Amino acid sequence: MIFSKSEMQEELFKFLSLYGENIARLYGVNDSWTEIEAIQASPIWEAVSEMYDYGVTGIPKGELSPGGHIYDTYAHTEMFLRGMDTPNMKLYLEAHANALPRLAMLAVQSAVARIVLDGGWRHTDYEEGDMNNLSIAEVALLANMDERSVRNAANKKLTDPLKTEQLGKRSLVSVEEARRWLAGRKGYIPTKEGKVERIPEFNMTISEDILEVVKKMAKKEGISFEECFKKILLKTYEGMDK
């Protein structure tokens, strides 16, 4: 489902404006911050816009780039929008003539899926097993296809099916397999190359066990892998210095 950035932003503005007015009433404060200028200057507006650029069009933006991470405002934005997409919140929004910003949610989900595809990490593993894999729904987003078509493409009877791995009742796709399969899809937009703002990588090799431990620590603390690794190195150095 390809949609324009302006379409997404128009829908997002309506949602944030109405939702902001509701919150202002609950807090008993002035709602001037729900006006268009304030909303367009807000972190959530900027985060969703950048996640659209990366997720939908494949244009890297800072940490939203190959090997990057979903963290800070991007992570808060993803969790906030996921929280909106629940039965009770839907009832609340409907009662106030508001609606979920579906296009913004798709843009955010696409950014999360792409960053995993590009060798980075998501912030939250909402369903166990997704951290280093892609769901069928995420592959469908990247391929610009509906989820049913992607599930059909995973039929083992096909000559060259999309290979999936079963985890409980869920079918997951490895990053390597997703890259292979997506390369042959007309609707897939590859991540564009270019100058990327990233924290310099450590010129060293570590074991898979240590890698997994650091990833889990970074996820728990809500920080990037590099930041977490630096903290570990600093603590080790300080301990040696005593």
pLDDT digits (tens, 9 = 90+) for 197-208: 434 445 455 566
- And the tokens for 222? 């809500």
> What is the rounded average pLDDT of the residues 154-164?
92
Whole-angstrom distance, CA of residue 78 vs CA of residue 111: 10
Domain boundaries, the chain: 5-131, 208-241
Question: Residues 96-126: pLDDT tens digits?
Answer: 999 999 999 999 999 999 999 999 989 987 7
pLDDT of residue 199: 40
pLDDT at residue 184 is higher than 50: yes
Question: Residues 215-242: pLDDT tens digits?
Answer: 778 777 766 676 677 677 766 755 554 4
pLDDT of residue 145: 95
- b/e for 42-72, b at 16 or more Cβ within 10 A? bebbebbbbbbbbbbebbbbebbbebbbbbe
Question: Residues 2-56: pLDDT tens digits?
Answer: 789 999 999 999 999 999 999 999 999 988 878 888 999 999 999 999 999 999 9
pLDDT at residue 181 is higher than 50: yes
Put simply, whether the predicted model's pTM sits higher than 0.85 gets the answer no
Q: In this structure, are residues 95 and 135 in contact, taking their beta carbons and an 8 Å threshold?
A: no
How far lies 197's CA from each of 61, 77, 200, 201, 230, in Å?
7, 21, 9, 12, 18
